[in-house]
Amino acid sequence: MSAPSADPAELHAAALIRSPPLLCRGDEPIREAAKRMTAQGANAILVRIGRGAAERLGIVTDSDLRSRVVAAGLSPDAPVSAIMTEPAYTVGAGRLGGEILLDMLQRDVHHIPVLSAAGEVLGVVDDGDLVAAQARRPFLLRRAIERAASPAELAAVSAGLTPMIIALHDARAAAGQVAAVRSVVLDALTRRLVELAVRGAGDAGDAGTPPTPFAWFALGSLARREVVPSSDVDSALAWRQDGPGVREYVARVAQVVDDGLLACGVKPDAHGASATNPQFARSLDSWHATARSLSRDPTQQQALILVSVITDSRPVWSTGGWAGGGLWEARGRADPDLLRLLARFALSFRPPTGFLRDFVVEHSGERRGRLDIKHGGVIPIVDLARWAAMGAGAAVASGADAPAGLTALTLDRLRVAEAAGTLESAQAQTLTEAFGFISSLRLDHQVEQLRRGEVPDDFIDPKTLNPLARSYLREAFRAVAAVQSGLANELSLGIR
Query: Who's near 55: CB < 8 A, 6+ residues apart?
Result: 48, 49
Tell me the pLDDT band of 79, cut-offs 50, 70 and 90: very high
* Mean pLDDT score, 291-304: 81
CB 191 within 8 A of CB 222: no
DSSP 8-state assignment for residue 118: T
Query: Who's near 160: CB < 8 A, 6+ residues apart?
Result: 137, 140, 141, 144
Select from 3.40.50.970, 3.30.460.10, 3.60.110.10, 3.40.190.10 the CATH code of 133-318. Answer: 3.30.460.10
Q: What is the pLDDT of residue 271?
A: 85
Select from 3.20.20.240, 3.40.50.11540, 1.20.20.10, 3.10.580.10 the CATH code of 8-129. Answer: 3.10.580.10
Tell me the pLDDT band of 159, cut-offs 50, 70 and 90: very high
Which residue in 143, 145, 165, 146 sits closest to 156, CA to CA?
145
The CA distance from 45 to 52, in Å, is: 20
At 13, the amino acid letter reads A
Q: What is the pLDDT of residue 411?
A: 93
Q: What is the pLDDT of residue 404?
A: 43
* Mean pLDDT score, 28-44: 93
Residue 398 has pLDDT above 80, yes or no: no
Tell me the pLDDT band of 256, cut-offs 50, 70 and 90: very high
- What percentage of the chain exceeds 70 in pLDDT? 88
CB 25 within 8 A of CB 48: yes
pTM comes to: 0.81
For 169-185, the pLDDT digits (tens) are 988 888 998 999 999 99
For 112-158, the pLDDT digits (tens) are 999 998 889 999 998 877 765 445 678 888 889 988 999 999 999 99
Q: What is the pLDDT of residue 107?
A: 85
